[in-house]
């Protein structure tokens, strides 16, 4: 017995001129509805199956794109949408990183439960100031983050395979390699946290494994 496909659900938010500026869509199979919103600023896609993002090229004001468990055959057209500044991805495939590495205008990137073998392409994102890296099951190469000195806000899952000594070294290296870092949250369920590893960092916000402190300067 074949499994029936879920019907799309589309929610919209309009500005004072009755123009659609935000869409949250579940189970989409194409972007025909989205491309009819030229003033769209934010798009949230949950589930669904898409061939590509070519239709989004008509949304010249799109700044924020959130993809959650959406199956996409071809990501490459995303790199042509120069207006996107904020990208959040959850549950995607490895081929996405090649496209992300060419989105040079990105300021914020969030990757959660994404199957990536490495983060090498991110070093091309010179305008990136905020990055969230969640649990990917194995180390995607978090050392690559040291090649992006523009990072100001970082939320990071410390890979479980890291030994404690290596974890401490990594945290001590943040000061030298990310000189603009002011906001830091760590998820490290497999490790002990040693506060002295962050000595010298001038943080305004810090959190570790669910415990958050606001540091006022």
Domain ranges of the chain: 21-166
pLDDT for residue 113 is more than 90: no
Q: What is the DSSP string of 86-115?
A: EEEEES--TTHHHHHTT-TT--EEEEES--
CATH topology of domain 21-166: 3.80.10
Q: Which residue, among 33, 92, 27, 37, has the nearest Cα to 62 in the 3D structure?
A: 37
3-state secondary structure of 39: coil
Q: What is the pLDDT of residue 120?
A: 82
197 pLDDT band, cuts 50/70/90, is: very high
3-state secondary structure of 34: helix
CB 127 within 8 A of CB 152: no
> Which pair of tokens denotes residue 159?
């890979």
pLDDT for residue 101 is more than 50: yes
Q: What stretches of 69-208 adopt beta strand conformation (E)? A: 71-72, 86-90, 108-112, 130-133, 153-157, 183-187, 205-208
Percent of the chain with pLDDT over 90: 57
Cα–Cα dist 41/46, whole Å: 17
pLDDT for residue 217 is more than 50: no
Mean pLDDT value of segment 12-27: 95
CB 21 within 8 A of CB 41: yes
165 pLDDT band, cuts 50/70/90, is: very high
Q: Which residue, among 206, 187, 81, 86, has the nearest Cα to 134 in the 3D structure?
A: 187
Mean pLDDT value of segment 97-125: 86
CB 158 within 8 A of CB 135: no
Q: What is the pLDDT of residue 216?
A: 47
CB 62 within 8 A of CB 55: no
């Amino acid at each position: 017995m074949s499994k029936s496909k879920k019907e799309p659900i589309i929610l919209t938010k309009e500005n004072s001129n009755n123009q659609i500026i935000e869409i949250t869509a579940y189970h989409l199979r194409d972007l025909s509805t989205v491309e009819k919103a030229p003033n769209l600023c934010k798009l949230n896609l949950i589930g669904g199956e898409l061939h590509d993002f070519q239709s989004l090229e008509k949304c010249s004001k799109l700044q924020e794109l959130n993809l959650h468990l959406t199956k996409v055959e071809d990501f490459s057209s995303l790199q042509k949408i120069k207006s996107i500044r904020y990208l959040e991805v959850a549950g995607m495939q490895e081929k996405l990183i090649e496209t992300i590495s060419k989105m040079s205008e990105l300021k914020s990137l969030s990757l959660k439960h994404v199957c990536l073998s490495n983060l090498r392409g991110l070093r091309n994102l010179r305008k990136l100031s905020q990055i969230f890296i969640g649990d990917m099951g194995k180390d995607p190469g978090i050392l690559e983050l040291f090649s992006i000195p523009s990072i100001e806000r970082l939320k990071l899952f410390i890979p479980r395979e890291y030994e404690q000594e290596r974890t401490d070294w990594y945290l001590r290296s943040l000061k030298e390699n990310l000189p603009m870092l002011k906001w830091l949250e760590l998820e490290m369920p497999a490790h002990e946290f040693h506060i002295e590893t962050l000595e010298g960092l001038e943080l305004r916000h810090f959190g570790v494994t669910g415990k958050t402190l606001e540091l006022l300067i």
